[in-house]
Amino acid sequence: QSFKLLGFLDVKKVPCARESVLYGSVGSLVVGLGHFLVTSRVRRSCDFAVGGFICTMLGYWFYCRYNLAQQRIRQRMIKEGMRNRILFEGTSLDPERKRTGNEGSDS
C-alpha cells in the first residue's frame, strides 16, 4: 500500500523519500523537544520543530540522492567494464594479455 505525502509524493516509489521523512520526523522531535526544554515556550518550540523537520528532511534527501547518483555511476562503470572485458577477452586489445617481444604473432 502506497503512502502519498502532500497528495502527490509517493513515498514508497520515490528513492530516498521514506528515509528522508523518517529522519525528518526524528529531527523534528529532537529540535522541538530540545527547544522546549531550554525555553519552555510551546508555540516557538513547534515552529522550531517544523523548521527542524524541513531542514533534516531536505538535508538527508540531498545526501541520499547524491549517494544514489554516485552508486549508479559506479554501477554503470562496472557494467561497461564487464562488457568490455567480455568483448575484448582473448584479442590483441585485451589489457590483461601479456605483451611479449613478438606482438605481431598470435600464439
| Mean of pLDDT values over 101-106 | 52
- pLDDT, position 71: 96
Contacts 24+ apart (CB under 8 A), 78-84: none
Give dist(CA 45, CA 38) in Å, integer. Answer: 10
Of 89 and 65, the one with more pLDDT: 65
pLDDT at 103: 53
Q: What pLDDT digit, counting tens, does each position of 15-70 carry?
A: 888 889 899 999 999 999 999 999 999 999 999 999 999 999 999 999 999 999 99
pTM for this one?
0.69
Q: How far is CA 86 from CA 6, 29, 92, 105, in A?
A: 47, 53, 13, 22
- The confidence score (pLDDT) of residue 101 equals 46
Residue 50 has what pLDDT? Answer: 95
